[in-house]
Amino acid sequence: MVGELSRRDFLSRLGVTLGASAALFPAASQAEVHEPTKGRIPATPYKTGHMTFLSGPFAGLGEQSLKGHLLAAEEINARGGLLGKRPIETIKADEAAGTGANVKELRRMKLSESIDCFTGVISSGNTPILGPVAEEIKCLTLFTDGCTDALFEKALPNPHYVFRVTNLQSADGVVTAIATAVTWPTVTKIAHIHSDYPYGRSTSDHFNVALRKLLGKVQVVSESGPKLGLKDFTPHIKKTISARPDLLFCSLWGSDYATFYRQALGQDLFKKMKVATTLAFGAAPHSLGKDHPEGIIAGMHANYHFTVPGGAQWPLNATFVGRFFERWSEYPNFLAEGAYTALYLLKLAIDKANRLSGGWPDDEDIIAMLEGLSMPSPAGYIHIRPDNHQGYKDAVIGISTYSPDFPFPIPDPRRVITVPIHKVTAPPGWPRGDPTSTYAWIEQTWPSGILTP
């Protein structure tokens, strides 16, 4: 009984909720408050540079990001543009060109194209490189992904011009560990398959430290680090199966995940072990087929799925999904929502700055409004922490299932797991740790084995 009470107490302290009916999002109003614009506003376009994968194996993800951005721009422009006067103009850049070329493109867009704001970026290998460049050339930047903790903990510890909308990368591994401990508390032997890349290494680290704290003694019996864009995962699948784990933890994303799960089906991997992922639901929803296995923990980047929160629970999401589908004939993923939300955060900051000082606000005024800004978005409330310019929103993860409403898997609405983001990331003022502040915070403050059956 003491153990059960401890489990309940700890889950309560984490704020974990199970099932859509217990979700943490209050009802939202669709009404917009329109206040008169103050002062003279130029009619010249407001130029945004949006960088994402437009070619290569991850173009499917990049298309979602660009479509979310364009939808927001079209909606804002239909109402006259920013402050009712300045239409948003989008200049695209292909992230697939590589980090060096991306740096040159950012400089070109700012110095030659005279962009007013830079948005986008998917790769967590790119944001720590592009962030300092954006600061150097004084380019207001809203990264919509590229979620590595290293951006603001190591590469850019004192940001001024740079902000990020997506949840921290560390949350992916931690939330997946919580979902694993809640769903399958008896697992002890763990296998890993992650891309040989910062995202894969980070999610592995944070899953391991959180699961050890939650379940006590767990053993890693197999680790694989395939290269990004791999076409044949067979050796990694066979290695994993031969280790006979209780659970496979996997952070493959985009086309890599789609390739992996289809090849794993052929080896009966999903029949031989439980599977938990950070990004099974991270790809464009229609990229997963009816062959995708049910009953796995299917992550969505601790961020957003178009069905969560569903129904009338959060009208902002229903409206966004409806408009996105009407415009693009497909459903949005977390990248589409992030890019869409970034422009509305920018719009809100500009609106607030105008009401305070009148006229078109300069970057310093916009930055001052972005710092500490909170706003309802399709994913729920998002808050920009003023100390590190990082966006925070409640983390979600689900269990894969099927619905007659969709030709692809979705999270089981009865088994969605929601965790307040501040409960699974290091609090303000926590010393920078290794490999991340969140890792050190969990290692030092979470009790050990608290969810052990």
pLDDT in tens, 37-56: 889 999 999 999 999 999 99
Q: String of b and e for 315-324 (b: at least 16 CB within 10 Å)?
A: bbbbebbebb
Six-digit token string for 47: 């130029």
d(CA 420, CA 413): 18
Q: Which of 26-40, 301-315, 322-336 has the lowest mean pLDDT?
A: 26-40
**46-167+313-388 has which CATH code?**
3.40.50.2300
Contact 10, 412 (CB under 8 A): no
Please calculate the CA angle 93-95-96 and round it to the nearest 5 degrees: 120
pLDDT of 28 above 50: no
Q: What is the pTM of this model?
A: 0.93
Q: Provide the 3-class DSSP secondary structure of residue 213.
A: helix
> pLDDT value at position 217?
87
pLDDT of 182 above 70: yes
d(CA 380, CA 373): 14
**2-19+170-302+400-445 has which CATH code?**
3.40.50.2300
Segment 101-130 mean pLDDT: 97
Band (pLDDT 50/70/90 cuts) for residue 35 is confident
d(CA 330, CA 328): 5
pLDDT of 5 above 50: no
Nearest partner of 204 among 195, 215, 214, 213, judged by Cα: 195
Contacts with 332 (C-beta within 8 Å, 6 or more apart), sequence order: 64, 67, 68, 285, 306, 320, 321, 324, 340
d(CA 255, CA 261): 10
Q: Which residue has the tokens 């700055």?
A: 353
pLDDT tens digits for range 357-403: 999 999 999 999 999 999 999 999 999 999 999 999 999 999 999 99
> pLDDT value at position 447?
87
| Count of beta carbons in the 10 Å neighbourhood of residue 328 | 16
Six-digit token string for 278: 């950070």
Q: Which of 5-19, 286-300, 372-386, 392-406 has the lowest mean pLDDT?
A: 5-19
pLDDT of 26 above 70: no
| Count of beta carbons in the 10 Å neighbourhood of residue 341 | 27
Q: Provide the 3-class DSSP secondary structure of residue 40.
A: coil
Q: Where in the chain is the domain with CATH 3.40.50.2300?
A: 2-19+170-302+400-445, 46-167+313-388
Segment 133-154 mean pLDDT: 97
Contacts with 5 (C-beta within 8 Å, 6 or more apart), sequence order: none
